[in-house]
Amino acid sequence: MAAEPDVEVAAAGSAGAAERALERAAAESRAFQVMLVDADLGAGPSAPHVPAQRRPPSASAPPAAPTITPAPVPAARQPDGIALISRARAAHPELRVIVLATADDPHRAVRALQAGAGGWVAKESSLGRLMAVVRGVMRDETHLPPSLLTGVIRELTAARRDRTESERLVESLTPREKQVLRCMVAGLGRQAVADRLFLSPHTVRTHMQNVLGKLGVHSTLAAVALARRAGVGPVDLPQ
């Protein structure tokens, strides 16, 4: 069997610690290639890992499979792990992420995949299984346990159906109503929308009422949520 190249691995049980590890690695001109994120991060007191790294082998030693060296940290309520995945991937697009989970959760798995994770592994999995997933995501593969696939596909299908319906409703709006909706997504109030679109507050109020009616919702918050599902972004605001 061919020798495995070394892989730099970070195990994240603390969002702050993980981000500090990435910053330190960047300062040292070294990049982690794989990050392991606890699926329960942010769900309650949990502290399974802190970032760790694999030390490069000596010139005389053959390359080895990646190793992980976890260390305990004080238990505390942590920021959401999915948000950590999004931030880490945005700052380091080349970083691969694997989620370590106590139980299969299709909804949370879909969120993790959408945030940029490449794998979902049970915490009780063997080291061999974990290493196989690490090597797989390094080849840009997506790894999910078979028991999770049906639920994930169902979640993705439902999300696609919901998005399609949201897109249909947004398409029913006039161009001006779409402008108003984008302002609403940006969090602008009635007067701010009026100033931006050179309309009277009364006219903006009418447009907003029409938007809510056509989208079939009863609040600005619900309209914004539907717009985001349809892929509608906010207007560009001046800096």
Residue 96's CATH number? 3.40.50.2300
133 and 27, same structural domain?
yes
Q: What is the pLDDT of residue 63?
A: 43
* End position of a domain, from candidates 92, 116, 150: 150
Asked, for residue 54, whether it belongs to a domain, the answer is yes
78 and 146 in a common domain:
yes
pLDDT for the residue 28: 57
**132 and 215 share one domain:** no
Task: Give the chain's length.
Answer: 239
> What confidence score (pLDDT) does residue 30 get?
52
Please tell me whether residues 101 and 190 are part of one structural domain. Answer: no
> Do 20 and 90 lie in a common domain?
yes
Here the CATH number for the domain that contains residue 220 is 1.10.10.10
For residue 19, what pLDDT is reported?
A: 54
DSSP-assigned letter for residue 120: E
Residues 6+ away with beta carbon under 8 Å from 128: none
Q: What is the pLDDT along the chain (239 residues), one digit of tens a residue?
A: 344 456 666 555 544 555 555 555 555 555 568 888 888 775 544 333 334 334 344 444 444 444 433 333 333 444 477 888 888 888 888 889 999 888 888 988 988 888 889 999 988 888 888 889 988 999 989 999 888 888 988 888 887 777 888 899 999 999 999 999 999 999 999 999 999 999 999 999 999 999 999 999 999 999 999 999 888 999 887 76
Domains: count for the chain: 2
Residue ranges of alpha helices (H) inside the chain are 15-27, 81-91, 106-115, 127-138, 146-171, 175-185, 190-197, 201-215, 220-229
Q: Pick the last residue of a domain from 150, 181, 205.
A: 150
Instruction: Give domain status of residue 157, yes or no.
Output: no
Which of residues 150, 184, 210 is at a domain's end? 150
pLDDT score at 158: 82
pLDDT for 54 equals 41
Segments forming the whole domain that contains residue 178: 172-229
Angle between helices 175-185 and 190-197 in degrees, nearest 10 = 130
Q: What is the pLDDT of residue 181?
A: 96
- State phi, psi for 216 to the nearest 5 degrees: 75, 30
Are residues 24 and 61 part of one domain?
A: yes
pLDDT at 26: 55
Is there a domain that residue 64 lies in? yes
Q: Say if residue 96 is in the same domain as residue 191.
A: no
- For residue 64, the model assigns a pLDDT of 45
29 in a domain, yes or no? yes
182 with 103, same domain: the answer is no
The pTM of this model reads 0.51
Which run of H or of E encompasses 38?
strand 34-38
User: Same structural domain for residues 134 and 222?
Assistant: no
